[in-house]
Every structure is written in structure tokens, then in C-alpha cells.
Amino acid sequence: LKASEGGGGKGIRKCANDEELRTGWEQVTNEVVGSPIFMMQLCTGARHLEVQLVGDEYGSVVALIGRDCSTQRRFQKIFEEGPPTIATKEDFREAEKAAQRLAMSVGYRGAGTVEYLYKPDSRGFYFLELNPRLQVEHPVTEGITGVNVPALQLQIGMGIPLQRVPDIRRFYGLDPDEASQIDFLNDAYVYPSTHVIAARVTAENPDDAFRPTSGRIERIRFQSTPNVWGYFSIGANGGIHEFADSQFGHIFASGPTREHARKALQIALKNISVVGEIRNPTEYLVELAETEEFKNNSIDTAWLDKLIAEKTIKMKCNANDMIFYAACLRAHLQVKEQQRKILDGIKKGHMPLQSNLKILQSFQVELAHESTKYNFQVSRTAQDAFALTIGETTLEARFREQPDGSLYVRCGDAVAQISGVEEPLCLRLRVEGQATITFPRIRDPSELRSDFNGKLVRYLHADGADIKEGEPFAELEAMKMIMSLRAGVSGKVHHTLGAGAIVAAGDLLATLDLADPSKVQTVKPFSGAFQLSKKGGRNAEAKKEVLDSLPSPTKDGMLSAVLCGFCASPELSKLGGVGIVQHIFKSHEDGAAEDQGMEVALDATCKLLGVFLENERFVASLVGGDETQTIQRFQGPPEELLSKILAHTALKESLHIVSSLLRSLSSNFALEGAISALPMDLVAKLTELRALPDAGGYGQVKLLAQQLLTQMNKPLGMRREDLRDTLLKSTRKDLLALANSHDAERRMYFGLDLISSLFSDEDQSVRSKAVEVYILRTYRGYTVQDVETVDAKDVVDKTPAAQLHLTWTFAPPGVQQKTQKGYAIVLPDMSAYESLVESWKIPAAPEITEIHILVAKVPSTSRKNSDESRVALCSAVSRTADMISSAAPMLDAKGCVVVNVMLAHAGHVPSYLHFHKASGWKEIPEYRNMRSTLPSLIELPQIQTEFTVSPLEHGRIFAMDFGVSKDKKTEVVFARAASHIAMGLDTLASSILSDLLTSCDFIERAMLDPVLENRHPAAQIFLHSLPPIPDTTQRDFKYLQVLFGSAVQQLMAESGSRVLKLRIAKIEVKVWVATSPPTALRLMAESSMGWEAVAFQETLDTLTGSPISFKNVETQEECSGVEMLRQPVETQRSSKRTIARRAGSTYIYDFPALLRISLTKLWMKSCDKVPVKLVVARELVLQAGELVEQEQLGNNRVGMVVWQCTLRTPEYPEGREIILIGNDVTVKAGSFGVEESDVFHKASELARKKGIPRVYIACNSGARIGGVEELKSVVQVEWVDSDDLLKGFKYLYIPDADMQKLPPQAVESHAISVNGETRHVLDAVIGAGLASTKGGVGVECLQGSGLIAGETSRAYEETFTLSYATGRSVGIGAYLNRLGQRNIQMVHGPMILTGAEMLNKVLGQQVYTTMDQLGGPHIMVPNGVTHELVQNDQDGVEAILRWLSFVPQNVLTIPPMISSRDPASRRVQFTPTKSPYDPRHMLAGVNVDGEWQAGFCDDGSFHEYLAGWGKSVVVGRGRLGGMPLGIVAVETRGMERRIPADPQEANSSDVVEIQAGQVWYPDSAYKTAQAIRDFNHGEHLPLLIFANWRGFSGGTRDMFAEVLKYGSMIVDALVEYKQPVTIYIPPNGELRGGAWVVLDPKINMEQIEMFADVEARGGILEPPAAAEVYFKKDKQVVEMMHRCDDALKQLDIRQAKGEDVAREIQQREKLLLPVYQQVAWEYCDLHDRAPRMKSVGAIREGLSWAESREYLHWRIRRRVQENGVARKLMRAVSGMSYVSAMQVVTDLCRKAAAVAGVEAEDRAVATWIEENRSEVQLRIERERQRATEEEVYRLVSSLPAARRAEVVRDLFGYTRVAAKAGGPTSGMA
């Protein structure tokens, strides 16, 4: 079938049967609508040849040879070539002539093509058609004839005869300039010597039967050459739509022969690159031109369609290579797309989710190829590297993206350039120079989808019809052609679209109900080894430069990648990060290589630390509250931020690597605490590491860096030579001083480790002196005498292995009566052991208690191979142990009890081994590497009687050990040290404090030991100072106790939070009093005792010097050593502390201690003497519905704890009471059950009843939720179908036997009988009478929550309430904080309604990564819920006490006045300016150019609250001459209000609103009202408002945001204010319009007074705006000009005379208008000044800013005192109004006021009231009595007359009886 108006393959179909004929008819009629259609016989085995004709108007027709267009698919040409060679020249000439005759017969004019079918076997031509147009392949004709056909057409149109056209004449070999006739039918043309082959470039998919494709084209690359030319109809960033023709390019190649032209075409096609969404067949055409049929020219028109159908043409490439490159491309595209999404979110303010970040690190790539599924596990091992694992194979690939989007990929030595795109149905991959290949997506066979873009023409089967596999089911129109789509499997089809629908590739067209799902072909996963061809591609040589630029990763490079958040490479995974660190520090054989290796190691370490710091520097700066502000705080581009976030996700692994690096540095360079000098850049990196915050996980690397920096010293060799020179110059008399020299220790460090290095010195004198110094230094603190070198011949001769013998006598500290004998023997090396055992003569002493075996030289292993070192040390220890065991009988015979062995390793730290007779002469591993006297000095043996001890870290004079009690219940870290530095009475406290801080450092480092991982032990400190304290006697015991207590108090003041964090429960310091003999005094403090110091005098064992009993210096009570080892309560609470710390809080029972620490700090700031009993906390427990005092000591079972605390504060030295309520998060996660709510309610009621502050410590998990546990094990299920549980269940029931065991009200149920079995079907679960419901499990807990919510609201109204969120506060916990209004929040104490994990479950994805995103400080501070933010609980307690310092003792008193070091008479130095300034400078002062300018408040007293909310207003509390004030001030600068993006709404963004200064906005108006209410309720603070507002923001946004409502709340708050309110317009400030209205004194005339500075202004509008109204928009300004300006006056006169001066007047007015406008503004401004405000009664007085402090101090102070008296009167006299009470107060103070005069009246009245409390109280009592009498009279008068006398008589009788009894009414009587 062929439409006569078709062409280019459109409107033509081959039909083999009736069915195809029907289908073909529909397709042809749709493709070429309205065209006549021919039916013709199919000619097979033919060639398509055509003749190019051009006819002129004169009847001539020339045949420009012809073309062979036999290579076709779907009747559309692919290759065209000429001249045709399949036909002989003669045969083709006959065809040309026939074509010419045809054209001449119809008078054809112009270009045309006659098309033939040619049968090579019969040499016959068969006419097809004449195309009356120029065809796209005409350049083939031009290439072989030299005739420009388009130009020829123009010439024909111009009427030029063919024989006159130059190109035609040249074609016939004639002179182009002549005009001779040409017989085009008979004259022969010159046969061409060139062959041309053309290829069409189409948007078709060769892998899918050349189906059309459409889409965007990014770029086309094609380079013409002398023998290849081409053109394209689409440029860069163009596209091909689904209704366009598929051809968009044409390539023409020429050559002297067909073979030359073919090869040229292939090269050209290979070099074409088309990047975009479409497909093109260029690679296919290359392979097509390479087929033997094409090369031999033995094809026909059906040849290509046959090849396509049979899929004969395949790309010559390795399948695994293509799959691997496709995996690389898909991985790269996935990462790129994920990065784009994340960066998009970052720009909007969204932190990336962890799940999304993981995709940037590790993910799966799935590919399908030839029924096999390839699942690659992809790990990003660097920014430009992947490790792809499939089956048993892992391949590493590095890549580099080019500007054109293609990738250079390297795997091993192979490099390929790849590009591609993800399409809806497949991944299309192009490997440059090899092939383009597609990898289809794995599809559901029941879904029938479109393979390309187009229009749905029709469905070929009715909806619901059955179709068979391979049967067409729909037709789509694409590229003007109708294409059939076939079903892949059999089934029942269901349509999803309607005819005419526009579809894209991948759109669902229909669904199938599969006929037989089992027959669906499935893809099988790949398994086994995956092998690549290991070739670099065809152009690998050309890519050598790229290959060289992609280097193989180095060891430090791999670690750098891990530090940057990438996955470990396969090599790194095998070794581990720590393993590669060790590899970096790998030893080298020869010295030079080793030095070079160490230099490389140091460089690598420096580089890696730099990478870590670069990644973590910014994140670390956020630790402490800004963790959720990562995006807001970052200043760089989003890409850089993403890299830091990605790196931070690998922090745990990074810390392991960095810690390993630091430890390796130490182990490779250290010698007993000293390391060689390090490169300066490395030192800088270590210094920065040391500065990292403690929190955030950086603690370990910080401490390791600090340790390294403190250990830096001179290299070992240099220090050894210093010591040797000193010994050579010293005499024996100098040795004792040298051994005890602390200067040596600090300046040159002559420690035991260094001294031992000289035992093998070649100089005998040096060796001898070194050993003696060693002994003297070892026994420092002991009494050592008679140190002698043994020269006895029998000893020397009978011990041939020894180099030196030494003896001495010694006595432990405090022991003088009995001495012991010591003996040292020096051996050259360990080989002397055998000789020693065989022949060892110990000096002839009666008894030698301790023996030291000093081995001068032990072979050293590589210092960089820790495994070798461990093996060598174990061998040395084993040999030594064998030697000691062999010598045991001899040791026993000499009475020896201890043998200490020192093994000196050349160039390294010696090893110290200890063997005791009591242990059977086995080594004591707990003492290894401790100096021999240290265990007894730090009393480690005593600890071992109660604890099993494991060493953590041992040093010269300290030991860190982990102890587990014998009953396994207690775990303690023991920090014990001995000191040889003398302390005097004047330095004792500071020295102890310094040693305690050092001990804290050691404990902190020890807590990082892997032994303590997941453990949270308590800690104890023991310090033993050996030198007796000079000039002390037993009379100084208590003084020493006081000094020790002072040091402990100072420690708590400076590092209290750290002590708490380290869980230090006990501190002991042992000192020696300089009696004869010295007396041991043990000073002790425990946290359970409030860190109060206690002193014990020790009684010592007369031989060993160990303490055997202790006597309390104050009480004289004695206790044993076992009692002294008793663990304090705090140690027993360690497990609960652990739970609390995991919740981000401090254990609730530690808060009284925190209060004590903070109060100590407060007192130490205010005075030198700290009172005793700073905190008395009486715990209250609920019993029988009432709170009773009872100490639970942490054994509580209710998760709510209450104390009634008495605090001795600087404001109330005698003590003030508060109620302290706190959640115990260790009891059921701090949840609110019924009991917890009852305790809270009663405690809050108690605070209200007493009128004292109520402080709530919040750390909870909301209302308790649970279930009836006892029923879980007995509940049964009745299933709908027990064989198919997926059908569901009918009901839950309890069997009758189990039901009988339950209490009556446990459940509600109804009984049924099933097969004779009684079942109790559950209607409701009650749980009454069951243990698991005690405390509540559901709605009853909510009832309790409602109870305490209402109670908290009442408490805010009636007393002072303050909440501190120390940890998470959930649900009701968060509401309690808000209902209490005042909130202090710890940075890690979020207040939330629902947890992040629960919200994520509701949302179905991980949207929230932390609870801080919901209620952390950056949510609760900006929204005004949080008033103050603190970093830790110690700061939180300090904030509580600071707030309480402004709060009265109870609700009946006024706020506390304190003496101030900053007198009220001091002038205010900082002056507010007209330009914007920081109002905090006005209040607190500021340093300007190095000079302090004091502000309005007392120096250091102002503290801001609500700083992050409503930033255009500043509120806080401060003091004025010691008097507390609530302060509101105005921000004059522009502020920003930031609304964060909502993580659960991906399209949301951060919003920043700009707020102008001096304007109330909705948030700042609400903030003002909130602050005023807080000052009024419970705090009773006088209020001072520095009013400097121009008005309210009245724009649409702010009106919608309820600015009107919140502005009204300011009025409401002022109306109910019960304390004096002072409003002061500051200098250069202004109060206008609505702002004045909400602050006017008439709002509350009893309390509000207004003042204005003499430089302030007040009015309705600002002068410029007022002038617009007042001067009627400059009309009256112009009148003023004419009235005042002489020039205008003259012009007016001239105008009156009739002169035309209007122009001159206009010019003069224009000139003067700006000046006169300023005059008008000044005139209006004069109305707004203080004198006028005072004269109309708007303000009380105009003030001068500099002197305002003194005036306002006394004015407010007077009003506070008067107000206090008035309130007392109102309470005493029921019904008395405030006005009446103030009249009484005025009368009371009238005399004092009159005497003082007007100027001093305020001061006089305030002072009189304060100094005459008794007189004031007497007057109040008189007023009370008077009012009582009046009330009694009124009541009696209200009685009926008949009853009055009777009642009066009864009252008289009652008073007489009461008077005799001395009752309360006697006074009245």
C-alpha cells in the first residue's frame, strides 16, 4: 500500500496477508490523510536506483547520472551513494534516457527524480515514480557531477537554457564560456572519477528497530574534512519534537573509489557526537558499513530491515566493560542528582537528611542486560572515586567530569570517555569510540508502556480483550509515522488512556491481567566473578594525559577521603583506618631510610590533621547550642557546606583515625612523657586540636593533643648528655641534693627513666653515681641512710654477673624507730640472669627487705612496631619471672619481701616489674611500670583489699586505676598521686587546688580509655604530699582543715560542672605536720556531705608506715581503714547519673550540690568570707496525700522529687526559702504518672501557700504511656481463618482458667462458649488491681497532667515560678514550662510536644534528625518561650540564682535592696545619640576607644532576658543603686527576624523579615507585654521603661500578624501592674502616636509616672509629618515666606502694581522652600519638648540624663517603700482601697517630707520608712483596729434593734473571759 502524497517512508506499508492489509490501510490513511492510495505488487530482491533530472523551459532535460538508495529501513533511505555501480554503465544509461524521455514528454521543468526498482539478476529497470522536487540527497549528485543543483534550479527559473549553464557544460566536458548545442539524449557526459556515499543522521533508536525518538539536544560535535562534508538542522540546545521528521543531519563522504568513500564515511560517523535525550544510529551505521554485504554491494532494499529484525548488527564491545561503565555512569548521575537536591534544600534552609547523605556515600546501582540483573554495591571512596562491588569482585574507578558533561573513567590501566543519560525506560550509555548501548529498566510485565514520545492513535483491542504475546495492542504517531506497540506477554488488556492522548516515553498505556504469570521471563541476578577486558578502549593512547592526571590513591589520601566522609576504599577496609595509620609509621631498616620515613610520616600526619580540622572547624564552632544553625551560621557557598556536613557524618571514624595518629606520634617519639621537637605546622595543628570544645565528641582528640603538647621537650640524646655532664662534675655529697632537686625535674628532667640510661655508661664513676641517684630518687619521702657501694671480695667474686652492688637503710614516711635494709644489683644485660641464678652472693646483712635488680641494657625493638615491642616485652618479663622464681629460696632466706626489677631499654622508657613474696614471687601486673615506692605512697594495697584494680595509666608520681568492688556493685576510677614538692601554709590551698585540677585532667583522659567504654564509674582523688609542712604543729590541724576546705570550695567555684561531669565523689589529701616524728593528717571531702572538709589524724604501722586507724580532729571519733574505704552515696548513685547524662541532663539529686557550688561562687565574688550551710535541702515525700520531710538519698520510686530549700544568698544572708521540684529521669524516663502529678501538685500548692518561689527542674518524657503487662501473656486471638492469618482476626479473648486468676475489675468482657470452651471476649482493658497499672498507664496520666497544668497557671498568678529545662521536656513537661512563663533552657534541653522519631514515623521518612529542630534553643529562644539560654547545668543553676536575686523573699515583701559598689549619685556617662545605637550600652555601659563609659544601671548588674525574641525591644533586670528594677528599652537599629524553613515541607525556605528600629512589631509588642507581666507576678519589681518608640508597624503583614492584639496586651499588663512604673523618654528619644497611647500614665494613675529627658520629644507625629498637616502641605509655608522674606515682599508689591513677576516669585519660592520647610519642622518640634509636656501634665518632670540615676533612684525607691506600706495596709484592712492606703502613707510621712523640702523629699520619705519600720507597723496596726471597730459597729448596726443589745452583751462577756485567759482578744479588751 502506498499513498501517492507520501514519501520518506511515510504512507507505505508491506502487507503479507489480509490482516496486515487491514492494519496497513489504517496506518497509511492516518499517516497521509486524504491522499490517494495505490495497491501494487511487492518486488523482492530489487535495488532502489534513481536518476536526477533537470529540465528547462525549452524542452531540454539533462540526466545528472543517478544514485543508489537501496539501503533502507521501513522504505526510508539510510545510505545514498553515486554513481550506481550495481548496474552497468550501459544499462544505467538506458535508464537515464528513459527518464529523460518521460520528462520531455510532459514538458517537465525544474529538478526531479525518477525512481526505479532494479533487478540485478535480470538487469531490468522498473519505474516507480517521479518525485517533482529536489531531494535531500542531492549533494551526492553534486559531488560526482560538479553541478550545483540548487543554483541550477535558479538559473532554469531565470530562463537560461541548460546548454548555456557553465556547470552543465563542464559536466559534458565542454568549454563553459561557449554556447554550442548539447544533445542531452545522445551526447555522452564525462563519467565521474569520484564516488560519494551519504548517511542520514536520524533521531531513531537502532536498538529498537529504528523507532523514532524525540527530545532535547544539548550539543552536536562534527568536524568537516576535505573529503567529508555534512550539515545539521539542529543546533546546540535545540530539540526534536514528536511530530517532526526524524532526520536532522546528513553526512557526505567522497573518494576515488567506493571503498575509499566507505572508509571516509565510517571515520566521519565515529567522530560525530550528539549529546541529548534523543537516540541516533551513528555507531550502528559504522558497523553497517563494515558488513561484507555492503562492502561487496550485494544488498537489496529489504536487506537492512532483515538485519534489524534479526538484530544481526551488534556493537563490537565487551559486554562486561559496557556494564561496568554503565554502572559508573549511573552512580555518577545518582550522586550528582542527589547533590543537586541537597544543595537545593540547603539554599532554602533545610539541613540534609541522614538518609540522603548516605546516598552520597554508599548505595546500590542496578542494571539489566540480556536477562541478567547486575546489582553493584557502590561506595564513594573519594570525591572522584567509586568502589563497585558485584558478586565476588570489587572494582575501583576514578573519574573526571569534562566541561561537556562526559566522564573520563579509569579502572586500573584502562581509561574510557563515557557519556549518557537516564531515560524513562532505560539508561543510554555512549562509550566514546566504541558504542552506544542501552540498559533497560526492569519493568513489570503487566504494564504496557510507551517506548517513545508521540500521540496515541488508537487501541487495537477492546478494553478487556485477550491479547497474545507479540501481538500489537496500540498504535502511536511519532515523526508523522504510525508505529505499532506489541505486548510482551499474553493477558487481558485494560486501557488507561483515550485516543488522541499525547504520551511520553515510559507513560502507561495499558495494564494486563497476566494469563500465566509463571511463564513470564524473569531476570536472574549475577553471581560469581566479574571480569573486565582490561583494555583502555580504542583510543587509550590518546587519553594518556587524562590517565596520568588520575593518580592512584596514596595511603594518606585514602585516610583523607575517610576524614571527608567518604567510604573506606577496599584496601583501607582490609587494613582498617588504624591499620593504615600504623602503616604510615612503618619502620625502615637503615637509619637514613628511617629518618626519611619519619619525615614522610610527620608530613602525612600534619596533612591528615589539617584535613580533619578543615572539616570540623566550623561544626565544632557550633557546639554549645548552635548545632541546629549550621546553615544560618555558614558564610561560604552551599557546596562547601555540604562537604563539611558530609565529613561530619563520619566523625566517629575520623576520631578513631585522628586518635590513632596522635597515639602513634606519642609512641614513636615519646620517652617518659617527653617527645622530640615537632614541625611548627604540626604543632599549630595540635594547638588547634587542643582548642576544640569538650562536647561534640572531640574530648578524646583534644586531650591527646594537649598531652602531646605538654610532653614536648629536648630530644633524648641531648638530655642524656646534660645529665652525664652533671654527674661527672658532681661529688658524692652532691648526689642527695641532685636526687631531691625539683629544678632538675623541671628544667632538665633527671627522672628515673633518664638516669637508668647511664647504667651502661663506659665510665665506672658515672655508672656508680647514676645508680646511687636512682636509689635516692626512688626513696624520696623516705628516710634513707648508709648508702654504700659493696666492694666485699666475696660478694663481687661470687656474683660474676654483677657490675655493681649497693646497700642502704630506709624507713617509710612517719616511721623512725624501725629501719629496713635495701640492696641493689646492676646487671649488664639479661644474659646475666643464668649466671646470677647459679652464683649470687647477697651482702651479709641480717635481713634485706627490698632488692632492686637493675638490668642496664635490654635489647630494643622497633619503636614503630607495637606488635614486636609487645612480644619482646613479654619475652623479657617471662625470662625475668623465671629468674626470680629460681632465686626464690635465696630471697626467702635473706628475709626479702619485695624484688623490683628495672629493665633499661636503649633509647626508650624502661620497664618496671614488681615481685612480692606475698604473691608467691609472681609479678604483680597492677604495679607494672610504677616506680617501686609509689604503690605504698598512694596506698594502692589498701584499695586492693576492697577492689579489683585494673591499671589505666601509670606515671612517675601518679596512677590511674579502674576498680570494681568485690561485690561487683561499685565501679570507681581512682586518681592517686604523690608529690615531693614542699608546701607552706601560705601556699597549701593554691597548691592543693592546682593538684586537684591536674587530677581532673587525668580523670578526664582516663574516662576515654576503651576499658571504660559504655561504663560510667564514679571517681575519687587521693593526693599524698610527702614533705612535712614547715612550722606546723598539732595546733594547726583545724587550720589545715580550713585551708583544704578553701581549696575544695575554690575548685567547686571554678570547675564545679566539671567535677560533676567527671562524677568525682571523694577527695582526699594526705599531708605531714612537722612534728617529731611527722604526723600524718588526712583531709577529706565528699560530695554527699556538701564538700565540707573533714580532717583525720592517722595512726601508722610502726614498720610499714601504713595507716591503721583514723581519728576525727573535730569529734575525736576513731574509725578503721575499712570504714575510711566506705564508698560515699554519690558513688552508689553512679548508675543513675549515667542514665541522667544519657538523657542530656544531670541527676536530679545532684542539683542541691550545684546550688551549693553556685552560691559559693556568688559569695566569693561579693566578699571573702563564705557562710557555712549555704544550702539546706529538706526532701519532701508524699505520704497519705501530704508532703512530709524524708531523705530518700536517691532510693525514690516516684519520678518527681521535691525539696524545701533554704538558700543563704548575698541578698538574704540569713536564708530564703524556695520549693525545688524536679523530674527524676532515671525513674521511668521521667514520665508523668499519677503519683508524679500528685507530688508536683502538692509541692506547687505548698509554694503558693507559703508565697515563696517555685523552681521546676524539667527533664521528662511527657505523660506516661503503657499497658497492662499481666494480660499480655494470657490474651488469645480468634482468627478468621487459622490457616490464612492474613484474612485477619475476629476478637481477642482470655480463656476461662486465666480469667479466674485476674482481679474482678481487670477487664470488661463478655463470655461466649466455643466448642465447649468458655471464652471471655475483651470489650475493654481496665487493669484495676494489677501492679503494672500502678502510677497510671493512660488517660489517668492525662488527668494528672491537666491537674498540674492548672496548678502551674495558678502558681504563676500567685507566686514566683521559674522553670529550668535541663533535658528534654515532652508534652505536659513542655506545657508546664510555658505555663510557668519564665524559662531557662539548657542548649541541649529541647521543649517539644512530640519526639522527632515519632514524627518521622508519622511522616514516613526521616525528616527530623534531632529534637532540637522541634524545640531546641533556636526554636524556643526566637519564639519567646525561652527567656535565657545556658550552656550546661552549672550555668543553669547560676542563672536560677541570678534571677532569684531580683525576687522578693515571699509575695508579701518587696524585692531585696543590697548595698551597691556603684553609688546612685554616679553620673551616667554613655549618652544615647540621634543615630542608631545599641540600647544595652545605654543600660550597662560600653568601652569606647579604651575608655569605659558607664551606663544607667549599676555596673555589671543588668542582665538581658528574652534576647532572641522580638529583637526591636530589649528587656531585662538590673539594679539602680542596689535597688532591683525590671527594665524595658528600645532597639534603635534595624533588626532581622528569621523564620526557619520547615524540614517536613521541602518547598519551604528560611524567611528573613527586616524590622526597623523604634517601632513595635507583633513579636516585640508581645514581648513587652510578657515582660511587664513577669515583672509584676511574683517578682514585684518596679518597672522602668525607656520609651523611644515612633509607633506600631501597621503594614498588611503585621496587621495580619495581630500587632493590634499584642499592642493592646501592653495596656492590659500595665493596668494590672501593682508596683511603681516609671516611663522615661531618654535623650534624643521620642514617643509618638499609638506608642504614647499604650504607655500613658492615665492607664494606671496609681502606679505610672512619666518623665522625659530635656533632649527628648513627644507628640502625635514626627515634625516633618506634622508640618505636612499643620502647614497644609506647604501652603502656609509659602505664606510664611511672603511674610518674612524681603525679596518676596518686594515682588508682591510689584505684582500688586500689575507687573508680571509670577515667574520670579515662583523661582524665589522654589529656592526658599527647603529652608522654610526646616523652619516649619522646627516650629512643630517646639511643640514636642519636655517643658510643654510638663505644662500640660503629660509628664511629671523633665530630667537631665547625666544626673537621672540619682533622681530616679530615690523617686522609685520612695514609691517602692510607699507602695509596700500601702499593700500591707490593704492586707491588714479588708476592703481598703489603694487610694485610701496611700493617703495614710502620705499622712505617715508628711513630717519627714515637710522637713526635707521638695528637692530632697523622695530621699527623706524613702529613708524614713526604711528606718522607722516599727512606727510604720504600729500605724498599720492602729488602722487595722480602727477598721475592725468600724466593721464591728457596722455589723451590729445591721442587726434588728431587738438583737443588738443581746449581741453586745454576749460580746462583752466573751472579751472578759478571753482577757482572764490571756487570749488573743485581751488586747482588744
Residues classed as catalytic: 133
In angstroms, the CA 1416 to CA 1391 distance is 7
User: Nearest 5 degrees, angle CA 1545-CA 1547-CA 1549?
Assistant: 95
| Greatest pairwise CA separation for the chain in angstroms | 165
Which residues neighbour 1005 within 8 Å (Cβ) at sequence distance 6 or greater?
703, 707, 953, 960
Q: Shortest CA distance to 389 belongs to which of 511, 570, 240?
A: 570
Give the DSSP H or E segment for 1781: helix 1778-1796
Which whole-number Å values give the CA distances from 937 to 782, 816, 942, in the listed order?
Answer: 10, 16, 11
CA nearest 1124: which of 1066, 1049, 1078, 1076? Answer: 1066
User: Comparing C-alpha atoms, which of 1382, 1378, 1524 is closest to residue 1439?
Assistant: 1382
What is the tally of helices (H) and strands (E) in the chain? 61, 80
Q: Which residues, in sequence order, are CB contacts of 1028 under 8 Å at separation 6+?
A: 1072, 1073, 1074, 1078
Cβ contacts of 1784 within 8 Å, gap of 6 or more: 1766, 1769, 1819, 1823
Bridge partners of 478?
481
Sign of torsion, CA 1463 1464 1467 1470?
Answer: positive
* Rounded-to-integer distance, Cα 94 and Cα 921, Å: 122
DSSP β-ladder status, 1428-1430 and 1383-1386: parallel
Of 1350, 1161, 1175, 1146, give the one whose Cα is nearest residue 1257: 1146
CB 961 within 8 A of CB 952: yes
Coil, strand or helix at 1131? helix
Residue 936 dihedral angles phi and psi, to the nearest 5°: -75, -35
- Exposure string for 1546-1564, b = 16+ CB within 10 A, e = fewer: eebeeeeeebebbbbbbbb
User: Contact at 8 Å (CB) between 156 and 56?
Assistant: yes
Listed in order, strand segments (DSSP E) in 72-152 are 72-73, 76-77, 79-82, 110-119, 124-131
Q: Alpha-carbon distance 940 to 932, whole Å?
A: 12
Q: How far is CA 366 from CA 330, 440, 554, in A?
A: 9, 10, 30
Q: Residue type for 840, please?
A: W
Long-range contacts of 789-792 (CB under 8 A, 24+ apart): 790/843, 792/843, 792/844
Alpha-carbon span 127 to 142, nearest angstrom: 23
Q: Give the separation between CA 1676 and CA 1684, rounded to whole angstroms.
A: 12
Which residues are 1299's β-sheet partners?
Answer: none
Of 1731, 1508, 1665, 1477, the closest CA to residue 1586 belongs to 1477
Reply yes or no: is the peptide bond before residue 910 cis, omega within 30 of 0: no
Q: Are 1665 and 1720 in contact (CB under 8 A)?
A: no
Report the alpha-carbon distance of residue 111 to residue 153 in Å, rounded: 7
Task: Give the list of residues 6+ apart from residue 541 with CB closer than 8 angstroms, or none.
Answer: none
Give CA–CA dist 1055/1434, Å, rounded: 9
